Amino acid sequence: MSDRTVILGRYELDPAHLGRGAMGTVWGGHDRVLDRRVAIKLIRFPGDCPDPEMERRFEREAQVMARLNHPGSPAIYDIGAFEDPAIGRRLFLVMEFVEGVTLDDVVAEHGPLPVGWAAAVGAQIAAVLSAAHEQGILHRDLKPSNLMIRRDGTVKVLDFGLAMLHKPDVSKLTQTGQIIGTVSYSPPEQIRAGAVTARSDLYSLGCVLHELLTGEPVFTGPTVFSVQEQHMKAVPSAARSFRPDVPRELDEILAALLAKRAEDRPESAAIVHDQLMPYVTGVGHLPGVTVGEPSAVRMYAHAVSRILTPSADATPVTTPATSRENPRERGGLSRNDLERARHRAMSLLLQSRYEEAAGLLTSVAELAAGVYGADDPEVLDLRTQLANALFEGGDHLRAAAAYSRLVGDLARRHGADDERTFQCRMQEAMCHAHLDDNELALRLLRDLLADQRRAYPDGDQRTLELRRQIGEMEKRSGDLAGAHLTFTELYDELCRRFGRDHPVTVRVGDSLAALES
């Protein structure tokens, strides 16, 4: 393409393409009529041979995709054909232009993501899949390079180029039995026979989640065939074998998603979304990926989350006092009681009923601590869930006390340098910042920075981000000289490590420039 290519006198293409998808090339561009940035996908069929029947099928499926209308999927604006001087008639698709970073780049830069972040990404993907599956649309090529995280933390599912309609009366763009998709994320049934269902997309989601949590694909091998064989026969390693901070229950969700038989996987993407949401806790900002400024999208989503569904109270819960399943002689509180209470609290939190969730968790955690000990892993999970519920509900005073009590017990159970302990200390500092006690918040953050610098390698992304947050808090507290020093030292180090044009460097440079203006 030349640097002045214009399609039908309306869509002006950028000089260089953005990437290649399953069925064509994606370019950034400008819609001259509506004066807006767009993405333009130029479709190429095998052999570049015009095929009116294939074009009709593509147009029909594109029309269905346009009805998806979900914030986690790029909007489709237009579809048509034009004469390409190089190959003749060519189809094009005009879509929403999405700015952000693909998940493969995020993992390459950050390594494994915090558990809360991985769950947040997975839950958003599951929500998009749920909407697509309701329309009968299967993605068939879900992988980190097709998933983009934007600066406000929202995730977009990209490249439905291999998508198909899961309906018997609609023609497909691929032949029966043809292996499609990307082998590292393909379910056994897709590899074996090319057959896919909605649960096939859930297997791919499990592969993505595993990679976000561990930094590695589920299966690797020297050849495509060896990877395919593992998908069909090998048992995937538990994420906890890579990092012990992954909750057992989350590993169980992963195992279900990665089941070899489709019928053994969760029934729907909506169920997976609900299963992942309770683990979306302690989600801070990813340096170079997200920003902390107010987001109109998050404001909108927060308001929508307060609208209760008709089935919000449909799931009954057995209270610890009446449970009869494997009760402990001392206190009568079983592990099953803890599990039911945790799931009930999850349901309440999904409805933004923070006070009720906190009340339930408080009573159960106190009883459980007496039965199993305050630093029992399951009790620690309950207590962490309680602290997060208080924080999310705006009760920062009680949340600060809960986090403060947790720190010592987490350190005894998992170690003072464990990421869970560090995250708890960060949350305690954030509570005091919300309470306008910036002096105490800064002291806690500086102590945390000293310990992170000792525990993590030089230049670790978590330490760099903590330094940036300290600078922002110094600025908010009025310590402009301290903020200037923090940002200057951090900016110089980022320039050395990543260069002046790296997003993290630019962001810190902007903060520094704002102080100097």
What CA–CA distances, in Å, run from 423 to 380, 449, 504? 14, 12, 21
Residue 37 is which amino acid?
A: R
Question: Which residues are within 8 A (CB) of 86 and not within 5 positions of it... i.e. 6 or more apart?
Answer: none
Query: Annotated catalytic residue: which of 141, 159, 337, 409?
Result: 141
pLDDT of residue 11: 95
Q: Which of 465, 463, 469 is nearest to 433 (CA)?
A: 469
Statement: residue 135 has pLDDT above 90: no
Statement: residue 357 has pLDDT above 50: yes
Question: Per-residue pLDDT tens for 245-281?
Answer: 899 899 999 999 999 999 999 999 999 998 998 888 7
Question: Per-residue pLDDT tens for 382-391?
Answer: 899 899 889 8
Question: Which residues are within 8 A (CB) of 277 and not within 5 positions of it... i.e. 6 or more apart?
Answer: 119, 123, 346, 349, 350
Query: Is 409 one of the annotated active-site residues of the chain?
Result: no
pTM > 0.85: yes or no: no
pLDDT of residue 316: 38
More confident site: 151 or 502 = 151
Question: Per-residue pLDDT tens for 184-226?
Answer: 899 999 888 767 889 999 999 999 999 999 999 999 988 888 9
Percent of the chain residues past pLDDT 90, beyond the cut? 38
Hey, what domains does the chain have and what are their CATH numbers? 6-96 (3.30.200.20), 101-279 (1.10.510.10), 456-517 (1.25.40)
